[in-house]
Amino acid sequence: MKGTEKNSHQRYDYVVYQRMRHILMSYRNLWRGSSSQKYEWGELASDIEAFCDIELPKNSLENFVRGWYEKSGKGKESAYEPEASSTQRFQKFSIPQNDRVEAIISFLTDQSSKGWFCNKEQLLEPPKLQAPFFLQEYLNYSEISKRCLVPEQFKGSYQSCYDGTEPSEDKEIPKCLSLHILESIGNGAVIVDLVQSNSYSHGNRTVSLEPIDDESELYSGWAVLSSEENLFVYTKHHRTDRNEFYLSLGFDNKIYSGSPPDALLLLKHDFPEDRISIESESDEPDLINVVKEDLLDKLFLLRRNSV
């Protein structure tokens, strides 16, 4: 859960501190699970002190890793919902002084330390480079997880097609989707760019339903392929960092003859459905029906652009 940081002299990005927290929490839990004795935050702080010859108070380490919770008063801004009207709890973290942060990094990255987990470059490397590799490894780590396809076979530009449906008061036409599957970044992952606009392909011409803003809806990210040959596409908006996820539901079978597919069917997902309050079993069909209707608006048939 993303909280707020308290330190005006942060040396590293938020994601590096989060990665350090996860490793320290896992390290402590591993030692607690492998020993009959409790391994508390004070013992972990002492191990870091002994290895790095630096003072690291127990509270400083625990507040950095676990943080603490504070309540937002009624009508006040919340860390989750800026205009929330009810009291909510949100998480905050402290960040130790820079010399203590460097001591923790040394404890986790020095191979002579019993806390060694990875090298420093891996710890500090941006997540956009690590995430696809780790996911690809997890999805295809077994010898029996063999697949016929590789992500590079999907390389090319694809665009969703406007079917002539007219918008109405209760139904909007989904935005056009342009997907560009670019070069491989190794280990079975590919870079993607994705653009959403109000312009649609219709036959050999382009139909513009509304004026297109100067700021295009540009997303970028990566795609990996599972051993079941499901294509997972993860993207972030360039300006807002909003996440959008796409899952392949089908593609034409010419790809198995070595040619790129002429068509991809993708399901888009961004936010969960939260418009229905489930107070009894009788409400459950309403939620299912709303989600079904929503999913139909998030299906995109993309056709490959000719080169």
CATH number for the 131-304 domain, one of 1.10.3470, 2.60.460, 2.40.30, 2.40.128?
2.40.128
Confidence category of residue 61, pLDDT binned at 50, 70, 90: very high
Q: How far is CA 17 from CA 6, 29, 102, 109, in A?
A: 12, 18, 11, 14
Domains in the chain: boundaries: 4-125, 131-304
The answer, yes or no, to whether residue 82 has pLDDT greater than 60, is: no
* Residue 260 and residue 181 in contact, taking contact as beta carbons nearer than 8 Å: no
Contacts of 225 (CB under 8 A, 6+ apart): 136, 139, 147, 149, 150, 151, 188, 231, 232
Between CA 122 and CA 15 the distance in angstroms is 12
CA atoms within 13 A on the CB side of 259: 10
Average pLDDT, the chain: 75
Task: Count the neighbouring beta carbons within 10 Å of the beta carbon of residue 293.
Answer: 11
Q: Tokens at residue 216, please?
A: 């295009």
Distance of CA 59 to the CA centre of its chain: 31
| 203-256 confidence digits (pLDDT tens) | 444 444 443 444 457 888 889 888 888 899 999 888 888 899 999 999 988 888
